[in-house]
Structure 1
Amino acid sequence: MHHTTPHAATPPGVIRLGYHGSPALSAALLRKAGIGMEEAQLLEHDVADPFRALRAGELDLMVVKFSLGQAEPDLRRSRPVAHDARAVLVSADHPLATRASVSIEDVADYGVFDCPGTMPVDVWEESVPRTTPSGRTVRRTHTLVDVPQMLTVVRAGEAVHLSLASLAAVVPKDVKAVPVHDLPPAPVALAWCAERGLPPHIERFVRAAEAAAEQ
């Protein structure tokens, strides 16, 4: 499996799959769908402009969490191909860092991040709810710019990042991903541009990933 930039030349028949955060989930989707490691390129996309590379034709597909949002009528998504549990990223010396899991009510004691760039606001609402079940406000004290900025803020204890358990595989040792036990996991799907459709080898992967998730 290749890790490269979206501008690199792609051999014929290779799937250019965009992801954000950990590539492990994307690699698992390929493996479960029977795609060999030489048949795919994993390309990290920009969280602040998530669909740019897909629309530019630099990606064939991208892994999306939650929904696509109401403002993306030119995109299509598969049925769920996996689920990603919820977690909160905190500094290693944070009061929540030693907990086996936390509630969204615990997270509400601290500031979190607001929607980055052109990320659909309604998708961010699914990821970072504005209120807890008890009615407490989840305070959005910092705007997410990119991963390095987010980690700097989290390390400093200025905010925590309500996110996904898959990030545990890629965060540095001084940041902990603590499970959030009372938020539902995020549905994971594959998205593509409707106007380009799915070439046969891409469609085979999508259908195989959907079928593997239902087993």
Structure 2
Amino acid sequence: MTDRTTLPPDGFPGTPPVRLGIHGSPDLAAAIIRAAGRDESEADLVGYDVADPFRGLRAKELDVMIVKYGLREPDLAVSRPVAVDPRAVIVGAHHPLATHASVSVEELAAYEGFRCPGAFPQYVWDEVVPPRTPKGRRIRRAYDMGTVKGLMGTLSGTDAVHLTFQSLEAIAPPQTKVIPISDLPPAPVALAWLRDPEPGAHTARFIEDAENGSTV
């Protein structure tokens, strides 16, 4: 990162908010912003589509975005972990597992999950939805992953399971249940940005503040 001593102070007239890409709940982003010692007004939260997650960065419509697990995209740089997001599964309220306080990933292998969407990196999806459980049971990826609304509709009308993150609980509709997964570790959360051109001074400071505010 750029030396902090070379960066102008944030909040001076004309400093634009950092355009921060998010997917799903804004609560995780808000927590990262607060941990960085920033006011939420200093970032504009912009939703991105998981089927083409890096389009906004590459089109220079975003300054930085929230990502999980390690990226191997040559044109993107990634911060140190700035948070973690515990693992959870979303199921319909009618689902046989819906009354459980927590579930094992081994239990989830009995139900069908979701395929890797669009241009989302397969190597990251394999972390989100492991191909096999620790005991070797195959996790069947049977459903297309589309919009959040479409996903929730599939879950509310079938016995599908969506292996995901606890942060999505904030946007899960009443006809679904979000249940902690007891035997998958939390996902590391980081910030990603374009290597070229390098981020502007206020974005670089935001990234550094997020890294310094991390308790990971």
When the two structures are superposed, what TM-score results if normalisation uses the length of structure 2?
0.91
Consecutive unaligned residues of structure 2, counting only runs of 5 or more, are: 1-13
Structure index of larger Rg: 2
Matches within 5 A, 1:4-153: 12-68=15-71, 70=72, 72-153=73-154
Q: Which has the higher contact order (CA 8 A, sep 6+)?
A: 2
Distance in 1 (alpha carbons) for counterparts of 2:42 and 2:214: 20
Distance in 2 (alpha carbons) for counterparts of 1:12 and 1:159: 45
Kept in 1: contact 2:83–2:215 (CA 8 A): no
**Percent identity of paired positions between Structure 1 and Structure 2:** 51
How many equivalent residue pairs? 203
| Counterpart residue number, 2:180 | 179
Query: Deviation of residue 66 (structure 1)?
Result: 1.2
Consecutive unaligned residues of structure 1, counting only runs of 5 or more, are: 1-10
Distance in 2 (alpha carbons) for counterparts of 1:157 and 1:202: 43
Secondary structure at 1:62 match in 2 = strand
When the two structures are superposed, what TM-score results if normalisation uses the length of structure 1?
0.91
Secondary structure at 1:187 match in 2 = strand
Deviations 1:101-149 (A, max 9, x none): 0000011010000100100000000111011111111011112122122
Distance in 1 (alpha carbons) for counterparts of 2:64 and 2:32: 12
Distance in 1 (alpha carbons) for counterparts of 2:140 and 2:70: 23
Are residues 96 and 67 of structure 1, via their aligned partners in 2, closer, same or farther at CA, if it must alter by over 3 Å? same
Deviations 1:167-207 (A, max 9, x none): 00111011111000100111000000000212111111111
Deviations 1:56-107 (A, max 9, x none): 0110000001122x3x200010000000000000001111111110000011
Please report the RMSD computed on the Cα atoms of aligned residues, expressed in angstroms.
Answer: 1.2
Give 1:156's aligned amino acid. G
